[in-house]
Amino acid sequence: MMEGCLGLLGGGGSSGASTNKSTLSKVEVVETEASSYPVEAELELGLGLSLGGGGCGGGGGGKGKANAWGECGRILTAKDFPSVVSQPHRPNNNNSMPSTCAVGAVSGTKRAADSVSHDQGGSPTAGSQVVGWPPIRAYRMNSLVNQAKAARAEEDKGNGEKDRSNENLKKKICNGNKTNATGNEKGHLGFVKVNMDGAPIGRKVDLNAHACYETLAQALEEMFLRSATRPTTITSIGGEKQQVSKPSKLLDGSSEFELTYEDKEGDWMLVGDVPWGMFLTSVKRLRIMRTSEANGLAPRLHDRNEKQRSKACLAAAASSF
Amino acid sequence: MNYFPDEVLEHIFDFVTSQRDRNSVSQVCKPWYKIESSSRQKVFVGNCYAISPERVIERFPGLKSITLKGKPHFADFNLVPPDWGGFVYPWIEAFARNNMGLEELKLKRMIISDECLELISRSFANFKSLVLVSCEGFSTDGLAAIASNCSFLRELDLQENDVEDHRGHWLSCFPDTCTSLVSLNFACLKGDVNLAALERLVARSPNLRSLRLNHAVPLDILQKILMRAPHLVDLGVGSYVHDPDSETYNKLVTALQKCKSVRSLSGFLEAAPQCLSAFHLICPNLTSLNLSYAPGIHGTELRKLIRHCRKLQRLWILDCIGDEGLEVVASTCKDLQEIRVFPSDPFVGNAAVTEVGLVALSSGCPKLHSILYFCQQMTNAALITVAKNRPNFTRFRLCILDPTKPDAVTNQPLDEGFGAIVHSCKGLRRLSMSGRLTDQVFLYIGMYAEQLEMISIAFAGDTDKGMQYLLNGCKKLRKLEIRDCPFGNAALLMDVGKYETMRSLWMSSCNVTLGGCKSLAKKMPMLNVEIINETDQMDISADDRQKAEKMFLYRTLAGRRKDTPEFVWTL
C-alpha cells in the first residue's frame, strides 16, 4: 500500500513536476471511480444490517473486490481469519495504517491500493495515505474524527468542497449503523491496543477508521499477518513488489487465530457477535488469540452452522451485484 | 566571590531561575557547582533516559519540581509502537525512596500508571502540581488517588492525554477540606463527571483561576460555575450542541458579565454558534483563544468572534477559518504572537487555507513569531514575502497536506522559499518543512540557520549531502527528526561527535543500514543507538546491509536502558 501511495506523491528524489501532474490525474481518475460506490453500498447495507454486521460503506474491499461488499454484512468468525503458516507473527511497517485510512472519506482507499494495482495509489486523499501524516497528534486526530462523525450523523454539512458529497454519503453509511446501534455516547474512541499471541509488538488500531468488522479484520490482517514487506520509502519505490499475493483470506478457510476483545467488564469476547456500534461502546482492547485458547470463551461461542448459512445467503445475494 | 559565605551565593543564585542559566552558573567553579546544585529546586530533564533518577537525586537533593519528557516527538504521530518506553515509575519510586520533597511533576509523552499516581499521592506530603501532557497508561482511578490524598493540591492539568475513563467519581474524591485548587483542567476526559461534586469543588476553591471542562459539562452547569468563580483567568468551555433556552442563555450572559478576568478561552468541543455571542463579552480582553477543537464554529460566526478579540496574543484555530478568516485575524489581532492553524479534515486531504492566509498574517501581525500552519499548498513567492515581512519568526512550522507538493504556481521545489525564511529569520529556533524539497534547502539551512535548535524533515532531500549540510551548519542543533528521506550511512557517520552535542536524532524510513548504526554505536559509547524492529525478519545478527527502518539515538549518562521491549535493540 505504501508503495502505491508514495508513487502517487511523485517520490522524493527522482521525479519532478511531471510526476506530480500525473499524480493529479490519477487522483481524478480514482475519484470518479469511487463515486460509483454509494449506490452499491446502500443496497449492501440493507442486507448487512439484519445480521448486525454493519454496513461497510466506508470500508469494503475496494474496486477489485466486488465480493467484499457482499461479504460485509456477514458476522466474522474465527474462520474469517487467514491461517498463519510458518511464522507466528508478522508485525510490519507500523501500527497506524488503519488510523490513516480515511474514515469513509473514500471507500477502500487502502484496499484499492492493495487489490487493484499499487501504482494507482487509490485515493484523492494522498496525504492521508501516508503513515503518520499529516503530523497531528493522535489525540487531536481522534477528536476530529469523533466530532466529524457526530456532526455528519446529525446533519449533512454540504460544505461544498468538491468530493464532499461522496464522503458525506459514505460517512453516513458508516455512521448510520453506529448511531442506530448505540445512540448514546458519541464514541470517544480512537486507538485501542491490539496484541497477537506470539507477536512481540503490540499495536494500536484506530477504531474510528472502520465502520464494520470487515475492514477492521482486514486492517488487523495487514498489521499482523501479511508478509513482512519493508514499508516503502521514497528511494525504494521501484524496487518493492506488491505484497499480499492472496486476496483477503477473510472469506475462506479456517484459521488458527481468533479475534477477541476485552469489554468494559473485563470479559474476553469473540469479535463479531454484537452489532458494530455496540462493539464500539464496549471494546477496550483487542487480542488475536490462538484458536485453542479461545475455546474458553464458552458463553459467547457462536453457532458456526448458523453463520455458515447466513454466509451462503449473503454470498448468493452479493453475487447478483 | 570566594569570600562570600555560601548563604550569600545561594541567595544570589535564587535570582537565577532559568535552567540554562543555572547550568552555566554551576560550571563556573567547584564551589559554585556545589552551592547551585544543593539549592536548585527546579529540574528539567528533556529525555528521561539521558540520566538516571538516582543521579538527579544525588546532585539536586533539594529538588522540588521536575519536568520529564519520554517518547520521541514522532510518537505523537504513531511512528513509535506503544510500549516503546517512557515509564515514569522508576523516577517516582526513586524519589519516594529517597524522601524527596517533590511538589511539582510535569510529564510529556510518558507512561504513568494508576499505581504510580497513587504512589505520588502517598509519598509527597506537599505535592502541589501535576501536569500531564500527551501521556497515557492511567485511568480516572489514578486521578481519584491524587484527589483524595494530596491535601495541598493546587494544580491538576491534563492536556491531551489518553485516559481510561472509568467514570468514577474522582471529582468527588477531593475532600471538603481541599480548598487550595488554583488550576483544574480535565478537558481531555471522555466520560461523564459528577456535576454536583464539580460545583461544590469550585465553590470551595477561592483561588481557582484556571478551569477547563470536558464535554460532559453542559451549559447550565457552566453558568452556575461561572457565577461561583468570577475570578477565573482561564476558561475551557465544554460542549453545547443545542441552542440554549433563553433563560439559560441569559444566565450565561449574566455570569460572563461578572467574569472580568478571563484572558484565555478554549474548548467549545461542540458548539451551537448561537451560544457564541454570549462570549463576545469577554473577547475584548482575551489574550489566548483556542478553538482548534471546535469544528462547529466557522464562517461568519467565527469571524464575528475574532473581530472582538483585539488583544489576542495566541490563537489556535482550525483551517475552516479560511484565508478570508485569516485576513480578519491579520487586520484585527495586532498583538498576535503565536498562531496555529490545524486541518479540520485531515483525512480528505483538503485544507481550507493556502499561502494567501499565511501572507496575510505575516503582513498584518507585526509581533507574530511562532506559527504552525497546515495548508493545502504553498509557493516560493509567498514564503519569500513572509520572510521579508516577518524576520522575527522563532518557530516556523509549515505542513502542506500533500507532503511532496511543489510550488503550486511554478511547480518548482520550495527550496527558495524556505531558504528565504532561514535567511531572514535570524532568531529561528524551530523549523518544520514540507513540500517538494531538494538538497538545496539544506544547504541554505546549514548556511543561515545559526540559532536553529530543532528541525523536523519529511520526504525531503535527494542525497546524503542534504543531511550533511544540516549537521555541518547548524551549530546549535539539539533535536533532529527525519522521516522518509534518502539519507544514508555517509550522512549518519559524517560527524559522529555531533550527536553528543544534541539531545537526540530520529531517522525513519531513510537509507541508513543496520551496519551503519552499529558502526555509530561502536564509535560513540555515550550514545544509545536504538533500533525499533517491526519486522520479524530482522534480528541482531541480520545482514548489516539491511536498512534500519526506525532509528532513535540520544546521548545519555545512564547507559543502555533496562526497560527496552523486545522489539527495541540498543546497539
Residue type, B304: K
Say if B54 is an interface residue toward chain A (CB within 8 Å).
no
Where does B43-208 sit in CATH, by number? 3.80.10.10
Say if A225 is an interface residue toward chain B (CB within 8 Å).
no
How high is the mean pLDDT in each 10-residue block of chain A (321 residues)?
A: 36 39 39 40 35 36 37 42 36 38 33 34 44 89 78 54 42 34 40 79 77 81 58 35 39 63 82 82 83 59 45 48 39
Say if A266 is an interface residue toward chain B (CB within 8 Å).
no
B316 to A175, B278, B371: CA distances (angstroms): 29, 20, 10
Q: How far apart are CA B548 and CA A189, in angstroms?
A: 33
Q: How far apart are CA A149 and CA A127, in angstroms?
A: 20
Interface-testing mutation among A205, A234, A281, with chain B (most B C-beta atoms within 10 A): A234
In this prediction, residue B521 carries a pLDDT of 94
- The three-class DSSP label of residue A46 is helix
Which B residues 326-365 touch A at CB under 8 Å?
Answer: 342-350
Q: How far apart are CA A53 and CA A213, in angstroms?
A: 7
pTM over 0.95? The answer is: no
Say if A195 is an interface residue toward chain B (CB within 8 Å).
no
> CA of B76: which chain A residue's CA is closest?
A137
How far from chain centre, in Å, is Cα B328?
27
Give the alpha-carbon dihedral of B323, B327, B330, B336, to 10 degrees: -40
In this prediction, residue A237 carries a pLDDT of 33
Region of B137 on the Ramachandran plot (φ > 0 left; ψ -120 to 50 alpha; else beta): left
Q: How far apart are CA A81 and CA B109, in angstroms?
A: 34
Cβ pair A95:B292 closer than 8 A:
no
Closest CB to B403: pick one of A9, A137, A147: A9
In this prediction, residue A254 carries a pLDDT of 56
Q: Which helix (H) or strand (E) holds B250?
A: helix B246-258
In this prediction, residue A270 carries a pLDDT of 84
Q: Are B348 and A125 in contact (CB under 8 A)?
A: yes
In this prediction, residue A300 carries a pLDDT of 41
DSSP string, A48-112: HHTTT----SS-S--TT-HHHHHHTTSPP-GGGSPPP-S-S----S-S-HHHHS-SSSSTTHHHH
Q: Is there a cis peptide before residue A200, judged by omega within 30 degrees of 0?
A: no
- CB–CB contacts below 8 A, A to B: 194
In this prediction, residue A264 carries a pLDDT of 76
Which B residues 209-228 touch A at CB under 8 Å?
Answer: 215
Interface-testing mutation among A18, A201, A285, with chain B (most B C-beta atoms within 10 A): A201
DSSP string, B102-130: --EEEEES-B--HHHHHHHHHH-TT--EE
Separation in Å, CA of B311 to nearest CA in chain A: 27
Q: Are B371 and B338 in contact (CB under 8 A)?
A: yes
Q: Are B111 and B87 in contact (CB under 8 A)?
A: yes
Residue type, A15: S
Residues 6+ apart with CB under 8 A from B24: none
Give the alpha-carbon dihedral of A123, A125, A130, A136, to 10 degrees: -160
Residue type, B214: N
List of chain A residues whose C-beta atoms are within 8 Å of the C-beta of residue B79: 94, 96, 131-132
List of chain B residues whose C-beta atoms are within 8 Å of the C-beta of residue A12: 404, 459-462, 484-486
| A288 backbone dihedrals φ, ψ, rounded to 5° | -95, 105
Say if A94 is an interface residue toward chain B (CB within 8 Å).
yes
Q: How far apart are CA A130 and CA A100, in angstroms?
A: 7
Residue type, B503: R
In this prediction, residue A62 carries a pLDDT of 35
Residue with cell 452547569: B221
List of chain B residues whose C-beta atoms are within 8 Å of the C-beta of residue A92: 534-535
Say if A201 is an interface residue toward chain B (CB within 8 Å).
yes
| B547 backbone dihedrals φ, ψ, rounded to 5° | -75, 140
Cβ pair B510:A126 closer than 8 A:
no
List of chain A residues whose C-beta atoms are within 8 Å of the C-beta of residue B399: 134-135
In this prediction, residue A36 carries a pLDDT of 41
Nearest CA among B320, B315, B358, B321 for reference residue B339:
B315
Q: Are B538 and B546 in contact (CB under 8 A)?
A: yes
Cβ pair A235:B486 closer than 8 A:
yes
Residue type, B277: S
Nearest CA among B119, B19, B10 for reference residue B65:
B19
Q: How far apart are CA B183 and CA B350, in angstroms?
A: 37
Residue with cell 518543512: B433
Q: Are A100 and A133 in contact (CB under 8 A)?
A: yes
Is A118 exposed, middle or buried (CB count within 10 Å of its CB: 0-12, 13-18, 19+)?
buried
pLDDT in tens, chain B (571 residues): 567 888 898 899 989 988 889 999 999 999 899 999 999 999 999 999 999 999 999 999 999 999 999 999 999 999 999 889 999 999 999 999 999 999 999 999 999 999 999 999 999 999 999 999 999 999 999 999 999 999 999 999 999 999 998 876 899 999 999 999 999 999 999 889 999 999 999 999 999 999 999 989 988 899 999 999 999 999 999 877 667 677 888 888 999 999 999 999 999 887 777 778 889 989 999 999 999 998 888 788 899 999 999 999 999 999 989 999 999 999 999 999 999 999 987 666 677 899 999 999 999 999 999 999 999 999 999 999 999 999 999 999 999 999 999 999 999 999 999 999 999 999 999 999 999 999 999 999 999 999 999 999 999 999 999 999 999 999 999 999 999 999 999 999 999 999 999 999 999 999 999 999 999 999 999 999 999 987 765 566 678 888 899 999 999 999 999 999 888 888 8
Q: How far apart are CA A216 and CA A211, in angstroms?
A: 8
Q: How far apart are CA B238 and CA A163, in angstroms?
A: 31
Which B residues 264-323 touch A at CB under 8 Å?
Answer: 269-270, 292-293, 295-296
**Domains with residue ranges and CATH for chain A:** 191-228+248-290 (3.10.20.90)
Is A292 exposed, middle or buried (CB count within 10 Å of its CB: 0-12, 13-18, 19+)?
exposed
Q: How far apart are CA B528 and CA B571, in angstroms?
A: 7
Say if A243 is an interface residue toward chain B (CB within 8 Å).
no
Rg for chain B, CA atoms, rounded: 25
Structure confidence by residue, pLDDT tens digits, B193-220? 999 999 999 999 999 999 999 989 988 8
Say if A247 is an interface residue toward chain B (CB within 8 Å).
no
Considering all CA atoms of chain B, what is the largest pairwise distance in Å, rounded to the nearest integer?
73
- The three-class DSSP label of residue A174 is helix
Cβ pair B160:A139 closer than 8 A:
yes
Q: Which helix (H) or strand (E) holds B534?
A: none
Strand order in the sheet with A203-206: A203-206, A191-196, A283-290, A257-263, A268-270
Count other C-beta atoms under 10 Å from residue A17's C-beta: 15
Q: Are B500 and B524 in contact (CB under 8 A)?
A: yes
| Residue B284 CB-half CA count within 13 A | 5
Count other C-beta atoms under 10 Å from residue B291's C-beta: 25
Residues 6+ apart with CB under 8 A from B147: B153, B156, B170, B171, B173, B174, B178
Q: How far apart are CA B168 and CA A148, in angstroms?
A: 28
Residues 6+ apart with CB under 8 A from B540: B569
Closest CB to A139: pick one of B82, B188, B347: B188
Strand duo B104-108 + B129-133: pairing? parallel
Closest CB to A92: pick one of B296, B403, B534: B534
> CA of B546: which chain A residue's CA is closest?
A230
| Residue A254 CB-half CA count within 13 A | 6
Q: How far apart are CA B189 and CA B161, in angstroms?
A: 8
Cβ pair A127:B403 closer than 8 A:
yes
CATH 3.80.10.10 positions along chain B are 43-208
Q: Are A154 and A171 in contact (CB under 8 A)?
A: no
CATH 1.20.1280.50 positions along chain B are 1-40
Domain B1-40 - what CATH class? mainly alpha
> CA of B438: which chain A residue's CA is closest?
A13
Q: How far apart are CA B434 and CA B406, in angstroms?
A: 9
Say if B545 is an interface residue toward chain A (CB within 8 Å).
no
Which B residues 136-195 touch A at CB under 8 Å?
Answer: 160-162, 164, 188, 190-191
